[in-house]
Amino acid sequence: MPENQSRTIAPDALPDVITRYLKAHRVHDKATAITAFTGDATVIDDGNTYRGTAAIESWLGKAAAEFTYTSELTGAQRVDATHYVATHHLEGDFPGGTVDLHYRFALRGDLVERLVIEP
């Protein structure tokens, strides 16, 4: 998935499953957020890998409780038919206080198969 093939899109042009996940994640709605993933999905965040819905659900709960922060969707890219990037600007009480994170989604059908969150 070469970066040079990606193109900027309007955030509201992201696939519905990504929008649903991002909205649920923002309001800490773990039950809705987990429905965006395949049963064998993988999430990689902060150097840790979570495989399967049970591990991802646990990560969702931990991620929501660890720090207080605001998150703003600042950009979106379509890499190809199944790969998208949503960029968020976060400000809060975590180390450093601000960060721009890239949520790199890989879709399988209408669900998220892989999510990598990195600066």
Decide if pLDDT at 66 tops 90: no
**Residues 43 and 49: beta-carbon distance below 8 Å:** yes
Q: What token pair was written down for 5? A: 């093939």
What is the 3-state composition of the chain as percent helix, strand, coil, each rounded to the nearest 5?
A: 30, 50, 20
pLDDT value for 4: 52
SS3 state of residue 10 = coil
76 pLDDT exceeds 90?
Answer: yes
For range 33-45, the mean pLDDT:
97
Q: What is the mean pLDDT of residues 76-94?
A: 95
Which pLDDT score, from 0 to 100, does residue 23 have? 94
Name the pTM for this structure.
0.91
Phi, psi of 11 (to 5 degrees): -55, -35
What is the domain count for the chain? 1
Range of the domain at 98: 3-118
Residue 84 has pLDDT above 70, yes or no: yes
The secondary structure of 19-31 as a DSSP string is HHHHHHHHTT-HH
Find the CATH number of the domain harbouring 90. 3.10.450.50
